[in-house]
Structure 1
Amino acid sequence: MTQIKYIRKLFHEEGKNVSQISKETGHDRKTVKYYLEKEDWNKEVPTASPVAQFPKLDPFKKHIDSWLLEDKKAKRKQRHTSQRVYDRLKDKYKENFNCSYRTVAGYVAQKKKEIFGKQAGYLPLEHIPGEAQVDFGDAEFYEKGKIYSGKYLNLSFPYSNKGYCQLFKGENQECLFEGLISIFTHIGGVPQRIWFDNASTMVTKVLKNGERNLTNDFMRFMEHYRFEAAFCNVDSGHEKGNVEGKVGYHRRNMLVPVPRFNCLAEFNKELLQKCENDAFREHYRKEGTIAQLHTEDREALLELPTVALDVSKYITVNTNGYGRFYLNNNLHEYSVSPKYANSKVLIRLTANEVIPMDESHRAVVRHERFYGNHKEQSMKWLPYLTQLSRFPGALKYTGIYQMLPESINNYLARCNKSDKGKVLQVIARLTEKSGFDSAVETVAGALQYEVTDTDSLLSLHNRIHGNVIELEPIRVTGSIPELTPSTPNLAAYDAGLKRQVINNAD
């Protein structure tokens, strides 16, 4: 139409003749003249191409369809080819099978397109069992008394209206993958097709033809779990309307009032069970409960892979002179160890942890992962205390000395030079046993009692943080003989105690 419009413009607006227009546009004179004289611009109504029916295969279609549907649970390389379908039909029906290979191949190609063909830009009105939709929602929660503005992953099955959710402190690739794996593991399988929006954790670019360039990590995740990913049109989240409704439903019914708990992982296990209990209500449109309908979803699930997939993200960071590094535009600071000061360290990132790794890929320490756009610091003292205990004489000449709490510095200042290493070893042991804050509390208590020996530190720590039963002091009367260092008489003391017990009993 662009060329036709241009031809007519040259003639009607610029006054050029047919020969000039033909020369300028490269079109034949007859073509130019045809479009100049054309008056009827109605589009020709297209004729729908009839779908081949393959009536000769009617007695065998039931078996062919069941084989191809079962293929949805198999790896791509282990699915039926047209030749394999043809061979199985010949083996099964022998002389009763009289169709050609071309007939079988034509029907298999048509049926495969129907079963495995990608749907672009719309969702079917009737969803098939085993198909799911995914989206995140916003929700606040308290963990150990601290409030978080978190996110929760929702996965719903439109066929049965069954939904599951998992709570996180953020919305990144690690949260997406770990949340999906938790749900897959809980339900014992993987949805055949999952609908997503166009989040950057999965899609790097939306192409003009509706295709997507996907991130390498998401493609690896898809291949491992063998599901097909489908995507909504840009700015068309309503196209996965079932999960959009589930986001609100889960918030109102699972996350009100604002949840309070001590362990996010344990709370997420409780959420999965709450989602199971929620499915015993009647379906809003279909006959039966959600749980009953969901059995058909379960039957259509793909099998879980036998090998676990590590969905952590690995990055390399530079540490500073204190053996610490920064993430999230230098807002979040984490420690490693004095051993790794001014060096490159491999970091493993999960949804909830930041884990510096040593040369053998073992965790040096484990940090809770921070989210949000405000400054936070996580300091794990055990590697620093262990290092200092080996070289206590160098304590004051390191930057670590300035990082220690004032109570520990004051306590070490009262210790003999020869005892500082032992005291630091004890503080390291207490830190490993009960945490650094508990060790600091013990040191502060020791300062009040003005004791600097390690035995007193251990005893005080057991008293403050151990399960020690406090007993009432025994009240004695004047009938109990007093023991003197010079002439101890334990027999008389025991006799006196016995008389006191008898008198109290009377």
Structure 2
Amino acid sequence: MLVVETVAKIRRLHRVQGKSIKAICRELGISRKVVRKVLRSGETEFRYSRARQPQPKLGPWQAELERLLTVNEARSRRERLTLVRVYEALRGLGYEGGYDAVRRHARGWQASRSTAVAAAFVPLSFAPGEAYQFDWSHEVVLIGGTTVTVKVAHARLCHSRMLFVRAYPRETQEMVFDAHDRAFAFFRGACTRGIYDNMRTAVDAILVGRDRVYNRRFLRMCSHYLVEPVACSPASGWEKGQVENQVGLVRERFFTPRLRVRSYEELNALLLDRCVAHARASRHPEMRERTVWEAFETERPSLVPYAGRFDGFHAVTAAVSKTCLVRFDNNKYSVMASAVGRPVEIRAYADRIELRQDGRVVGEHRRVFGRDGTVFDPWHYVPVLARKPGALRNGAPFKDWLLPGALERIRRKLASASDGDRQMVEVLTAVLDDGLAAVEAACAEALRDGVHSADVILNILARRREPAPPVTVLTPDALRLRHAPLADCSRYDSLRGGL
């Protein structure tokens, strides 16, 4: 087959240098037939394609090979065999030919099928404030020196392409609520539609077509922000292609090289800064004269105004143990001693745990993640100390308990007394009735007087609870007497005269 370089030499030798066909044949060592073909056709390249590929050994097996290919194509992608495995199956049936013939025929069979059409998509366009897209991704970071796989929530405005990302330890529903609230607070508004995949925290059931049964709490959140949720078709990530592309961009630009932070708060602050920096530096893919940030500023007035924080919690009911502890998410949290014996409602937020019983809050803690952790609030156990004051010294809730300044000084002074624990429990119990500020002030007054006895502190509190003396009534100047009245008893005698 003639290569392009040889064709170019023949054309230059004849048309530029004027050499004859015989001289060209002698110089290049090729036949006159080839030289004449090049000069007469005027082509600069010649390709040879075989009109018919002889397949002496595969010919009788073509139908069987196509049957195997059809069966293989009907399998799921994960169970589909490679072409080498199909070749081995054909050999097992008696085929004695080579793999290349099978590969060539399989390629032609695939190209000839009418269903084998390359995937094509319609470009989408969104009006300002019309829609946003939401998704999750998993990234690896170092938090406090430990390698952690974090769940990253992605939100993206479809018109301006403005992005928002935030990392969480879980991918649960309360994290979904918190991510939406922080995204809308950052955007200063929401869109009229939200595009999601069929995540379990939002969709309870997939019906025919676009119909979905959404989770009731998720619908309440959408109603709060005036958003209409729209779910994609199953396994159709291209229907929210913008946020799918954002996942790859964020992984490449934000998480590479691997981030090293001390806490989730530091990680999320870093991610927010990088979102803003990326938006200010990147051009909008359609409005090339603007950056993403400039397009976002233009879109902001079209957003649905931010409706304030949604009370996004995940509620479950749990029993209270005799040690005033409630178990949730593989960790334990303390509640007030008065809550023992009856179940409580656990409201799990993204960053805190709230425990309620009969409508009142019986405990509130910062949420912890991991396993087998215990979070105490020592004040929950103060009523128990009134019955068992000896537990103050070795009780687990009171280890490393940092009291306010004056209370802590009283505790240290009472530690050397024989009945110091009992006296300290009396002081702590007074907090339940008088409040921490009042007891702290009474302790400070006692210390100024050089005493630290519980009796003195309780006496100071009792005196402060006594009602204040009545205020003296002042007579206005207009009602004051200008002349003091004189006593005249004769007036009474005149009254008696008639008797």
- TM category (shorter chain) comes to 0.5 to 0.7
Tell me if the contact between 1:207 and 1:213 (Cα under 8 Å) persists in the aligned partners.
yes
**Superimposed CA distance per residue, residues 343-386 of structure 1 (whole angstroms, 9 cap, x where no aligned partner):** 2122221012112235553352313232x5x43333333322x2
Q: Name the counterpart of 2:353.
A: 354
Could you tell me which of 349, 367, 382 is aligned with 2:379?
382
Q: CA deviation at 1:320?
A: 1.0
Does residue 302 in structure 1 map to residue 307 in structure 2?
A: no
Q: Name the counterpart of 1:502.
A: none
Amino acid at match of 2:318: V
Gapped regions of structure 2 (runs ≥ 5): 1-120, 402-411, 437-450, 454-499
Amino acid at match of 2:288: E
Q: CA deviation at 1:134?
A: 0.5
Q: Name the counterpart of 1:283.
A: 284
**Superimposed CA distance per residue, residues 447-489 of structure 1 (whole angstroms, 9 cap, x where no aligned partner):** xxxxxx989xxxxxxxxxxxxxxxxxxxxxxxxxxxxxxxxxx
Q: Name the counterpart of 1:311.
A: 312
Amino acid at match of 1:354: I
Tell me if the contact between 2:173 and 2:201 (Cα under 8 Å) persists in the aligned partners.
yes
Q: Name the counterpart of 1:463.
A: none
Q: Name the counterpart of 2:274.
A: 274
Counterparts in 2 of 1:168 and 1:156: CA distance versus 1, 3 Å: same
**1:352-501 matches, cutoff 5 A:** 352-357=351-356, 359=358, 361-362=360-361, 364-370=363-369, 374-384=371-381, 386-393=382-389, 395=391, 403=396, 416=417, 418-423=419-424
Counterparts in 2 of 1:321 and 1:362: CA distance versus 1, 3 Å: closer
Tell me if the contact between 2:137 and 2:247 (Cα under 8 Å) persists in the aligned partners.
yes
**Superimposed CA distance per residue, residues 57-89 of structure 1 (whole angstroms, 9 cap, x where no aligned partner):** xxxxxxxxxxxxxxxxxxxxxxxxxxxxxxxxx
Q: CA deviation at 1:234?
A: 0.8
Count of residues paired in the alignment: 302
Q: Name the counterpart of 2:321.
A: 320
Amino acid at match of 2:229: A
SS of the residue corresponding to residue 244 of structure 2 reads: helix
SS of the residue corresponding to residue 364 of structure 1 reads: strand
Tell me if the contact between 2:134 and 2:196 (Cα under 8 Å) persists in the aligned partners.
yes
**Superimposed CA distance per residue, residues 86-114 of structure 1 (whole angstroms, 9 cap, x where no aligned partner):** xxxxxxxxxxxxxxxxxxxxxxxxxxxxx
Measured on the aligned residues, the alpha-carbon RMSD in Å equals 3.8
Q: Name the counterpart of 2:24.
A: none
Range with bigger deviation, 308-317 or 149-158: 308-317
Counterparts in 2 of 1:304 and 1:367: CA distance versus 1, 3 Å: closer
Q: Name the counterpart of 2:158.
A: 158
Q: Tell me the distance in 2 between the aligned counterparts of 1:360 and 1:267.
A: 36
Q: Name the counterpart of 1:205.
A: 205
- Identity level (%): 20
Q: Decide which structure has the larger Cα Rg and report it.
A: 2
Tell me if the contact between 2:376 and 2:397 (Cα under 8 Å) persists in the aligned partners.
no
TM-score norm. by structure 1 comes to: 0.52
Tell me if the contact between 1:157 and 1:297 (Cα under 8 Å) persists in the aligned partners.
no
SS of the residue corresponding to residue 383 of structure 1 reads: helix
Counterparts in 2 of 1:301 and 1:402: CA distance versus 1, 3 Å: closer
**1:112-127 matches, cutoff 5 A:** 125-127=124-126
Q: Tell me the distance in 2 between the aligned counterparts of 1:249 and 1:239.
A: 18
Q: CA deviation at 1:292?
A: 2.4
Q: Name the counterpart of 2:227.
A: 227
SS of the residue corresponding to residue 195 of structure 2 reads: strand
Tell me if the contact between 2:414 and 2:420 (Cα under 8 Å) persists in the aligned partners.
no
Q: Tell me the distance in 2 between the aligned counterparts of 1:227 and 1:423.
A: 55
Q: CA deviation at 1:124?
A: 5.4
**1:127-138 matches, cutoff 5 A:** 127-130=126-129, 131-138=131-138
Tell me if the contact between 2:326 and 2:332 (Cα under 8 Å) persists in the aligned partners.
yes
Q: Tell me the distance in 2 between the aligned counterparts of 1:297 and 1:146.
A: 40
Amino acid at match of 1:163: L
SS of the residue corresponding to residue 222 of structure 1 reads: helix
Q: CA deviation at 1:156?
A: 1.1
Gapped regions of structure 1 (runs ≥ 5): 1-121, 434-452, 456-506
Counterparts in 2 of 1:209 and 1:184: CA distance versus 1, 3 Å: same
Tell me if the contact between 2:383 and 2:429 (Cα under 8 Å) persists in the aligned partners.
no
Does residue 183 in structure 1 map to residue 183 in structure 2?
A: yes
Counterparts in 2 of 1:365 and 1:298: CA distance versus 1, 3 Å: closer
